[in-house]
């Protein structure tokens, strides 16, 4: 991988520094470190693939990779100058000395010629322009020597050509040069084994960069081949084997990886199967082994032009954002990485990339976002609880009702840097509210649902902020909504044991009949705004322990705060749905006869909010009693809705996804009227409903409803109002009023 060249140079510098004045140790130590680098790359690939986490590389920011690529481009531009005139690498001011020499200017001339040709020759018509151009450079060079009358020896002495490898020696006998010379050059007794310690950061950095650069090419090649399913982990394991073998079989074995361009050319040429791959590998191996023998015949300007062109392209790939994919912060990060790599080294550039990734992510989440997204009272916010009319009147009271509840919706990252802004926003709103209304704020809800990250310092500050609000503004209780984000929830919960967990979701003895804890289900599918654990209902905390509690949803927090306000002025009313009916003993009655009729009529009255026994009796007369066994399906998703069912005994399970029924589902208890919305509005069922146990229902079919509408319009109107009331209840749900929904109840 050409992008790893800066790391190899750094490893050579480490070997030179560790030689301690003994030149004979430099080459063996360099080979040792190169093999260690390749081994590190291989083990990294293998570990990621074997553990099944190769896809984690997708989370590395693209702009960091672009910055690293741009930095490599500058480094290779520098390398092109030194390759053009000397085998030693040049840094700093010495680069400009090298760039001013005639050999480098010749390399630059060939590069400019290629750039010019690219502007006039369409790539789609001549896709092999680049390789043909570079292969023609030696021919042009030799023609130039012949025209100028310059001999090969004079060109070598003038620095225009590489010297014959046999004349370089390298610590072995001249006649000992062979394909296996690397093993002869590698003398274990000369290796500075301790060099692995100072080289460790470079080894790790090279492995990280190699993984980052390879990851995008695997899905890109799969797309080219038209493959929908590919195993990223298997590809990483294969890369691991290849690099480990390279490190073991050859001293100084270099890292290797999938090359997208070579792979596409191989595919277009008809290459496929293990035999073709094996032959290609053999050709590449022989080229690598015997290729240096032809170095003496290659002019430096060819290598210099090739490296210079590669460096320019890599740099432009890093800094040119033609598709405007990067914002200003990301683009600034690219330049920070490039400058760091240029002034220091590749490892420093990679560390700068990691640092800018963290800073950029934080800034992108924070720029333009104040920590408090919404600050308002709850006068227009309603929980999903079905409440007694007297309780609703109390909650709507401007002095004693929901206006005493303040909701703060937080957003983005909450960290030590915006704590002062958070406090100022909260205190400013509470101060203004107190000045405008003259009363104390009784309850405060702090919602973390839109928060994507919070640090421990911020969490500690918010805990203290709760105390300050109580002292300064007379707030009696502060509750928190943690949302569904696992990270935020974990961090918040680690600070407190005062969290309402699923174990606190208990069965309410009368919830199925009084609906004091759950709303009745009326539609053809999932009719509740928030799902609960099957067989359970959310039980709000008693007013005495609500302070400091954490809830999963804003609806739950608001419901508990409403209970506090109701219990403060009319204790006990918060538990009542209506003052007209009481069903606490209905479940003890018989299933049949007059008792059953009374129960059904009372259930209908509960849904219709009416005590007109005559009208309710007419509805009962068009109902048909049915029994179902456990596992029976009442209807399926997409079926025509031609019946509604009042659950008299048992329970049913409603779900949307046949393949994963638990993904979006709920258990509906007896007392619910399901399918009524679809029946009246003539819509299809939106969920599959299956009996969880032996179930007794009273069914209303389309013929019965139409007959009821014809014979007794006032009774049918009760069912229509039942659906309208339920849909209104859903529309007024708190999530539609505070998270920016367009479902405005006009």
Please state, in angstroms and rounded to a whole number, the distance separating the CA atoms of residues 407 and 677. Answer: 33
Confirm if 514 and 671 have CB atoms less than 8 A apart. no
Give tens-digit pLDDT for 10-65: 899 899 999 888 889 998 999 999 999 999 999 999 999 999 888 777 777 888 88
Confirm if 325 and 61 have CB atoms less than 8 A apart. no
Give tens-digit pLDDT for 639-696: 999 999 988 888 899 988 877 776 677 888 887 888 988 899 888 988 899 999 999 9
Span of 26-40, 344-358, 700-714 with lowest mean pLDDT: 344-358
Work out the mean pLDDT of the chain and round it to a whole number: 78
pLDDT at 408 over 70: yes
Confirm if 537 and 511 have CB atoms less than 8 A apart. yes
Better-predicted residue by pLDDT, 91 or 232: 232
Confidence at residue 536, expressed as pLDDT on a 0 to 100 scale: 34
Better-predicted residue by pLDDT, 309 or 60: 309
Q: Could you identify the residue written with the tokens 């099944």? A: 52
Confidence at residue 579, expressed as pLDDT on a 0 to 100 scale: 34
Confidence at residue 279, expressed as pLDDT on a 0 to 100 scale: 85
Please state, in angstroms and rounded to a whole number, the distance separating the CA atoms of residues 218 and 173. Answer: 44
The answer to whether the pTM exceeds 0.85 is no
Confidence at residue 339, expressed as pLDDT on a 0 to 100 scale: 92
Distant-in-sequence, close-in-space partners of 177: CB < 8 Å, separation ≥ 6: 165, 166
Confidence at residue 695, expressed as pLDDT on a 0 to 100 scale: 92
Confidence at residue 701, expressed as pLDDT on a 0 to 100 scale: 92
pLDDT at 729 over 50: yes
Confidence at residue 456, expressed as pLDDT on a 0 to 100 scale: 72
Confirm if 541 and 500 have CB atoms less than 8 A apart. yes
pLDDT band of residue 601 (cuts 50, 70, 90) is confident
Q: Could you identify the residue written with the tokens 């393949």? A: 659
**Sheet (strand 643-649) strand order:** 624-628, 695-701, 643-649, 673-674
pLDDT at 502 over 80: no
270: left (phi over 0), alpha (psi -120 to 50) or beta: left
pLDDT at 71 over 80: yes
**Would you state the torsion angle of the CA atoms of residues 455, 460, 461, 464, taken in this order, to the nearest 10 degrees?**
160
Domains plus CATH for the chain?
A: 2-364 (no CATH), 368-500+541-575 (3.30.750.24), 590-738 (2.60.120.10)
Q: How many Cα neighbours within 13 Å face the side chain of 254?
A: 13
Quote the percentage of the chain above a pLDDT of 90. Answer: 21
Confidence at residue 625, expressed as pLDDT on a 0 to 100 scale: 92
Confirm if 430 and 406 have CB atoms less than 8 A apart. yes
Confidence at residue 50, expressed as pLDDT on a 0 to 100 scale: 92
**Sheet (strand 688-691) strand order:** 633-635, 688-691, 652-655, 665-668
pLDDT at 194 over 60: yes
Structure tokens at 499: 């969290």
Give tens-digit pLDDT for 441-485: 789 999 988 888 787 777 778 888 888 898 888 898 999 988 655
Confidence at residue 178, expressed as pLDDT on a 0 to 100 scale: 52
């Amino acid at each position: 991988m050409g992008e790893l060249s800066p790391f190899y140079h750094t490893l050579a510098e480490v070997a030179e520094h560790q030689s301690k004045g003994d030149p004979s140790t430099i080459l063996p130590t360099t080979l040792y470190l190169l093999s260690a680098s390749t081994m590190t790359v291989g083990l990294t690939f293998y570990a990621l693939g074997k553990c099944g986490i190769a896809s984690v590389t997708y989370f590395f920011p693209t702009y960091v990779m672009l910055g690293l690529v741009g930095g490599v481009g500058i480094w290779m531009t520098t390398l092109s100058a030194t390759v053009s005139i000397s085998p030693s690498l040049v840094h700093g001011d010495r680069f400009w000395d090298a760039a001013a020499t005639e050999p480098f200017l010749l390399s630059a001339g060939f590069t400019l010629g290629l750039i010019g040709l690219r502007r006039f020759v369409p790539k789609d018509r001549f896709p092999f322009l680049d390789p043909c151009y570079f292969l023609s450079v030696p021919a042009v060079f030799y023609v130039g020597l012949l025209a100028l009358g310059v001999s090969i020896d004079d060109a070598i002495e003038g620095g225009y050509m590489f010297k014959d490898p046999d004349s370089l020696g390298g610590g072995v006998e001249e006649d000992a040069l062979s394909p296996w010379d690397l093993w002869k050059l590698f003398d274990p007794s000369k290796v500075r084994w301790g060099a692995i310690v100072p080289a460790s950061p470079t080894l790790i950095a090279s492995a990280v960069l190699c993984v980052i650069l390879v990851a995008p090419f695997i899905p890109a090649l799969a797309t080219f081949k038209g493959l929908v399913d590919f195993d990223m982990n298997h590809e990483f394991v294969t890369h691991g084997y290849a690099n480990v073998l390279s490190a073991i079989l050859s001293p100084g074995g270099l890292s290797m990886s999938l090359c997208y361009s070579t792979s596409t050319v191989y595919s277009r040429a008809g290459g496929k199967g293990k035999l073709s791959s094996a032959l290609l590998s053999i050709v590449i191996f022989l080229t690598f082994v015997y290729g240096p023998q032809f170095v003496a015949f290659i002019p430096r300007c060819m290598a210099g032009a090739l490296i210079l062109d590669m460096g320019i392209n890599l740099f432009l790939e890093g800094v040119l954002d033609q598709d405007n994919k990067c914002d200003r912060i990301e683009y600034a990060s690219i330049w920070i990485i490039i400058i760091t790599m240029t002034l220091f080294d590749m490892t420093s550039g990679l560390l700068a990339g990691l640092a800018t990734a963290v800073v950029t992510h934080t800034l992108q989440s924070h720029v333009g976002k104040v920590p408090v997204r919404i600050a308002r009272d709850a006068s227009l916010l309603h929980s999903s609880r079905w409440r007694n009319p007297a309780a609703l009147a109390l909650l709507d009271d401007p002095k004693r009702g929901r206006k005493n509840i303040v909701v703060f919706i937080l957003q983005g990252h909450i960290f030590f840097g915006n704590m002062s802004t958070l406090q100022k926003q909260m205190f400013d709103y509470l101060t203004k509210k107190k000045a405008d209304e003259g009363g104390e704020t009784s309850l405060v809800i702090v919602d973390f649902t839109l928060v994507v990250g919070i640090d421990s310092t911020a969490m500690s500050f918010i805990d203290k902020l709760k105390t300050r609000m109580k002292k300064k503004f007379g707030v009696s209780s502060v509750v928190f909504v943690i949302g569904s984000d696992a990270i935020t929830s974990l961090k918040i919960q680690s600070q407190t044991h005062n969290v309402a967990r699923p174990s606190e979701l208990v069965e309410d003895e009368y919830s199925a009949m009084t609906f004091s804890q759950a709303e009745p289900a009326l539609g053809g599918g999932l009719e509740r705004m928030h799902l609960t654990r099957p067989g359970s209902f959310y039980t709000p905390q008693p007013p005495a322990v609500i302070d400091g509690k954490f809830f999963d949803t804003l609806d739950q927090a608001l419901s508990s705060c409403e209970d506090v306000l109701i219990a403060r002025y009319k204790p006990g009313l918060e538990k009542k749905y209506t003052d007209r009916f009481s069903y606490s003993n209905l479940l003890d009655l018989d299933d049949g006869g007059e008792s059953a009729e009374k129960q059904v009529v009372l259930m209908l009255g509960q849904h219709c909010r009416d005590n007109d026994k005559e009208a309710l009796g007419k509805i009962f007369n068009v109902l048909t009693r049915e029994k179902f066994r456990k596992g029976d399906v009442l209807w399926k998703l997409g079926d025509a809705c031609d019946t509604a069912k009042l659950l008299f005994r048992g329970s049913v399970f409603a779900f949307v996804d046949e393949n994963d029924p638990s993904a979006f589902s709920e258990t509906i208890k007896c007392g619910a009227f399901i399918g009524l919305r679809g029946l009246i509005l003539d819509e299809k069922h939106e969920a599959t409903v299956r009996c969880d146990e032996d179930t007794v229902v009273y069914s209303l079919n389309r013929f019965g409803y139409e007959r009821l509408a014809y014979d007794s319009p006032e009774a049918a109107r009760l069912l229509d109002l039942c659906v309208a009331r339920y849909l209104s209840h859903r529309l007024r749900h708190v999530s539609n009023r505070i998270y920016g929904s367009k479902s405005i109840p006009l």
